[in-house]
């Protein structure tokens, strides 16, 4: 028999991590015809999760939302009209629940899990069957829980612009050792691309080498790392794909690194803001494409999962694992940048 209550977190305000409140016995709504009840085993965290309770997230949120976009679990129960899943299936959440294929629309951009739609940081959650994806067969629940946001964003960055999608022999530049950057490195190497990775730590550089990075630049000791990256490319022509996670403080270096007709995909602003942001003329001067990417569609997710299974790609997960009731500690650990790869929360 399906449970009637669940332990879950909600975001109550924007005063910081103290806005996170835990309820041990929150009611589970009855299933609609197309609903699927998921018993979560693991969730993983993203920078987005940290800034929502701080009131810094630039997209929509609802009051008292259950946080967390990323989660993997088993189907506990299904509504009478569900055809995509059955009880016992292993599933992963789709970030924008309405983004099934093609481009985002104003309607589908407002279906973000953990922002507008209740998320994964709970024991049980109800989702429309269209907003779930079968978990890759070669991954366990902890690994599967890391895919929803970071992995799909990296995949979209490399393959989302079909006219300029990643090709064998291309050069990819990744920034740092967060989830999106690590997935970008793994996907690029699986495709036969060359990878230049930046980091601020010698210890993290060694791990990047083990993951296959061809060149590593310490951006703390090399302030002109964009020019350095360009020199490392064949013929010094520049980088084909840049996964831009830093934002305003790093985009100048990305312009310095990019190849003519190369692609800079802006997916975040981890490095913060600056008054000296490049102008739109930089795009003309660099003769490149700059695009924003807000995660990706279910169709892209399913293609990515096939690639993960076919290539034996294993998500890089931080050695530290938190329990569901330790969520505030997990947020602080990630905020302090103590993690490498994806930080996970064990739920079941």
H or E element in which residue 77 lies: strand 70-78
- Asked if residue 226 lies in contact with residue 252, where contact means CB atoms within 8 angstroms, the answer is yes
- pLDDT, one tens digit per residue, over 48-107 is 999 999 999 988 899 999 999 999 999 999 999 999 999 999 999 999 999 999 999 999
Q: How far apart (Å, rounded) are the C-alpha atoms in residues 103 and 105? A: 7
In this structure, the number of other CB atoms found within 10 A of the CB of residue 332 comes to 13
The whole-number pLDDT of residue 93 equals 98
The whole-number pLDDT of residue 250 equals 87
Q: Give the residues across from 346 on adjacent strands.
A: 42, 323
The whole-number pLDDT of residue 2 equals 80
Residues near 9 by beta carbon (within 8 Å), at least 6 away in sequence: 20, 21, 22, 23, 66, 67, 68, 121, 122, 324, 327
Q: How far apart (Å, rounded) are the C-alpha atoms in residues 54 and 75? A: 32
> Using alpha carbons only, how large is the chain's radius of gyration in Å?
20
Pairing mode, strands 35-44 and 342-346: antiparallel
DSSP 239-276: EEEEEE-S-TTTHHHHHHHEEEEEEEEE---TT---S-
The whole-number pLDDT of residue 275 equals 64
Mean pLDDT of the chain: 94
SS3 284: helix
In this structure, the number of other CB atoms found within 10 A of the CB of residue 225 comes to 22
- Asked if residue 88 lies in contact with residue 14, where contact means CB atoms within 8 angstroms, the answer is no
- Tell me what percent of the residues of the chain surpass a pLDDT of 70: 97
DSSP 8-state assignment for residue 122: B
- pLDDT, one tens digit per residue, over 13-25 is 999 999 999 999 9
SS3 204: helix
- pLDDT, one tens digit per residue, over 258-283 is 999 999 999 965 445 556 677 777 77
The whole-number pLDDT of residue 269 equals 55
- Asked if residue 302 lies in contact with residue 144, where contact means CB atoms within 8 angstroms, the answer is no
Q: Give the residues across from 23 on adjacent strands.
A: 8
Q: How far apart (Å, rounded) are the C-alpha atoms in residues 301 and 312? A: 16
Average pLDDT value for residue range 114-133: 98
Note the pTM of the prediction, 2 decimals: 0.94
- pLDDT, one tens digit per residue, over 147-193 is 999 999 999 999 999 999 999 999 999 999 989 999 999 999 999 99
Q: Which of 312, 322, 324 is nearest to 342 (CA)?
A: 322
């Amino acid at each position: 028999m399906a449970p009637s209550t669940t332990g879950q977190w909600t975001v109550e305000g924007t005063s910081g991590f103290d806005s996170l409140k835990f309820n041990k016995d929150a009611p589970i709504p009855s299933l609609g015809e197309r609903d699927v009840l998921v018993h979560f085993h693991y969730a993983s965290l993203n920078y987005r999760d940290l800034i929502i309770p701080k009131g810094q997230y630039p997209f929509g949120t609802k009051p008292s939302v259950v946080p967390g976009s990323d989660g993997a679990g088993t189907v506990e129960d299904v509504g009478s009209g569900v055809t995509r899943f059955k009880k016992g299936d292993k599933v992963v959440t789709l970030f924008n629940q309405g983004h099934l294929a093609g481009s985002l629309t104003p309607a589908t951009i407002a279906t973000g899990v953990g922002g507008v739609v209740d998320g994964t940081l709970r024991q049980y959650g109800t989702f429309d069957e269209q907003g779930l994806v079968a978990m890759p067969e070669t991954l366990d629940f902890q690994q599967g829980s890391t895919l929803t946001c970071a992995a799909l964003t990296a995949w979209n960055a490399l393959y989302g612009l079909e006219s300029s999608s990643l090709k064998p022999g291309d050069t990819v530049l990744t920034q740092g050792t967060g989830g999106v950057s690590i997935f970008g490195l793994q996907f690029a190497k699986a495709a036969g691309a060359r990878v230049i990775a930046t980091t601020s730590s010698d210890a993290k550089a060694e791990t990047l080498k083990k993951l296959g990075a061809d060149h590593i630049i310490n951006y703390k000791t090399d302030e002109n790392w964009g020019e350095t990256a360009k020199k490392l490319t064949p013929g010094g022509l520049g980088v084909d794909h840049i996964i831009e996670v830093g934002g305003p403080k790093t985009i100048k270096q990305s312009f310095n690194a990019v190849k003519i007709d190369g692609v800079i995909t802006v997916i975040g602003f981890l490095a913060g803001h600056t008054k000296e942001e490049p102008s739109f003329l930089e795009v003309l001067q660099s003769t490149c494409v700059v695009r924003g990417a807000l995660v990706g569609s279910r169709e892209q997710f399913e293609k990515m999962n096939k690639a993960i299974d076919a290539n034996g790609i294993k998500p890089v997960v931080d050695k530290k694992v938190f329990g569901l009731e330790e969520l505030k500690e997990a947020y602080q650990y990630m905020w302090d940048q103590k993690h490498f790869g994806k930080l996970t929360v064990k739920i079941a």
